[in-house]
Amino acid sequence: MADQTDEAGTPPLAPPVQQAGFKGWYAVVMMAVVVMLAQVDRNIISLMVQPMKRDLGLSDTQIGLLTGLAFSVTYALIGPPVARFADRGFRKPVVIASLAIWSVATSLCGMAQNFWQYFLGRAVIGGAESGSSPASLSMIADVVPRDKLPRAYAIYVTGFVAGGAIAMTAGGLLLGALEGMEPLHVAGIGLIRDWQLVMILLGLPGLLVAALIAVTVPEPQRRAGHKPKGYPLREVFGFLIANRRMHGPMLAASLLNSMQSFGTVAWMTAFYERTYGWGPAKAGPILGPTNMAMSLVGLFVGAWLAERLGKTRDDANLRVMFLANSLSVPFLIMSPLMPGPWLAVGLGALGNGVAAMAGAGYNSSLQVATPNAMRGQINALYLFVIAAVGGTLGPLLIGMLTDFVAGREEYLRYVLVGFRLVLAPLDAYLLWMAIRPYGKAVRERVLAGD
C-alpha cells in the first residue's frame, strides 16, 4: 500500500518512474515558473544600474556588491542546511516558503533609500532563493524517467531563461510607462521613484504562485535510492572525494562559467547605455525577447542532442555542455566590440543561444550521477559555487576593473571582453577533463539502482 511504512517509520521507496504523466509534467512546469520568478527578482537590479547610481549615489563597485555579495552571503549560509532539510523529504514546503519570502523581499528592495537598506533586501532574496532550486531539481528527478530528464530540465531552464527576459522586457516597458513620474513620498519610508515602483510590482506575483503550488503540486514520492531520510554531511563529502576526478574540474568549470554569466548579465544594460546610448527603457524590451528567443532554441536543441547522444554514450550530458560553452565564446567576445548596438544585440543573442544548449545537460548530469537522497545537497553545493561565489565575483570584479583599471565608464566594453577572454578557455579545458570521470559515475549510479 502507498501509505505503508517500514519499522523506522519511513515511507517505502518507489521504483524509478517509467512515465511522467500529466501530474509529473505539470510539476516540472510549476518548478519552471518558480525559477522564472527567481530570475526576475534576482536580475531586475541589472536594469536599474544607472538609475540606482544616480538616485542613491552609488559607485560601480557598490553596484557590484549589491548585485553579487549582498545576494551571495546569505545564499552560502542558508543553502546547505535547507538542502539537507529538503533531502529529508520536505522539498515542496521549501519551494513554497522560499518563493514567498524572496517575493516579499523584492518588493521591499523597491523601498530602499540607501546602500545598506538595499543590501539587506538583497541578502534576504539570496537566502530565500538558496533553498528553492536544489529542492526543485530533486523533485523533477522523481517525476520524470531518466531518459527524459534532458527534456524535463530544458523545460525547467526555460523558466530560468524566461525570467531573465521578463526582467529586462517587463522592467523596461514599465520604466518607459512610468517615465516622468514624480517621486512619491511615503510616510516612514521616503521617496519612491519610478524604478523603485517597478521593483515593488514585480515582487508581488510570487505570492500567488506560492499559493497555487501549495494547492496543486503534491510532494513526489522518492524513487529508488537507499537513504530516504537523506545522507549526513559526512557521507556527502565522502561521495565528493570518491568522485573528485569528476567534481573537482566540474565545480571549477561551473565557477568560471558563472562568473562570466553573472558578470555579463549584471552589467549588460549599463554597457548598452554607456556605449550606444540605449537607456534601460529601450535596451530592456529589445534584449529580453531577442535573447530569450535564441536561448530557447538553443536550450531545446541541446536537450534533443543530449537525449540522442545519451542512447549510446553515458557522458552525453557533459559532452553537450562542453560543446555549448566552447562554441558560444567567439560570439560573446565579439558582441561588445561592435560599432553599433544592433550588431552587438545580434552577436550576443547568437552567443546566448549556443550557450543555452548546455542548460539541460548540466542539470541532468548532476541528477543522474548522484544518489537520490543526496541530490538536494549536491545541487546546493553547485548552486553555492555558481550563485554565491560566481554570482559575487563576476559582477564585483567587472565593477572594480571598470573603476580602478579601465578608469572610465565607457571602457566597460573592454572589461567585458577581457574578462571572458581570460576565463572562457580555462572553463572549457576543465569541462573536458570532467567528461570521462562523469561517464564512469553515471554507470556506477545505474548499477546501484539510483
Q: What is the pLDDT of residues 209-256, one digit of tens each?
A: 999 999 999 988 776 555 656 678 788 889 999 999 999 999 999 999
Q: What angle do CA 429, 430, 434 make, to 5 degrees?
A: 120
Please give the grid coordinates belonging to residue 238.
Answer: 565522502
Answer with the residue of higher pLDDT: 101 or 407: 101
Question: Which of the four pLDDT bands, split at 50, 70 and 90, describes residue 10?
Answer: very low
DSSP 427: H
Cα 211 to Cα 97, 201, 423: the distances in Å are 10, 18, 41
- Determine which of 187-201, 214-228, 306-320 has the lowest per-residue pLDDT on average: 214-228
DSSP 14: B
The answer, yes or no, to whether residue 8 has pLDDT greater than 50, is no
The residue to which cell 528553492 is assigned: 132
d(CA 333, CA 169): 24
Task: Tell which residue, 375, 364, 445, has the closest CA to residue 88.
Answer: 375
d(CA 412, CA 396): 13
The pLDDT > 90 percentage for the chain reads 46
Q: Greatest CA span in the chain, whole angstroms? A: 70
For residue 239, the one-letter residue type is F
Q: Provide the angle, in degrees to the nearest 10, between the axes of the packed helices 375-383 and 115-141.
A: 140
Q: Residue 321 CA to chain centroid, in angstroms? A: 16
pLDDT of 227 reads 60
Report the pLDDT averaged over residues 396-414.
92
Cβ pair 103, 129 in contact under 8 A: no
Answer with the residue of higher pLDDT: 349 or 44: 349
d(CA 261, CA 263): 5
Cβ pair 206, 103 in contact under 8 A: yes
State the number of CA atoms in the 13 A half-sphere of 161 facing the CB: 27
As assigned by CATH, the class of the 21-220+229-448 domain is mainly alpha
E strand residue ranges, 99-209 = 184-186, 190-192
> CB under 8 Å to 66, separation ≥6 — which residues?
45, 52, 58, 115, 118, 119, 122
Q: What is the pTM of this model?
A: 0.74
- Determine which of 141-145, 222-226, 274-278, 417-421 has the lowest per-residue pLDDT on average: 222-226
The answer, yes or no, to whether residue 84 has pLDDT greater than 90, is no
pLDDT of 297 reads 94
The answer, yes or no, to whether residue 78 has pLDDT greater than 60, is yes
| Residue-averaged pLDDT of the chain | 87
DSSP 114: S
Q: Report CA Rg, the chain.
A: 21
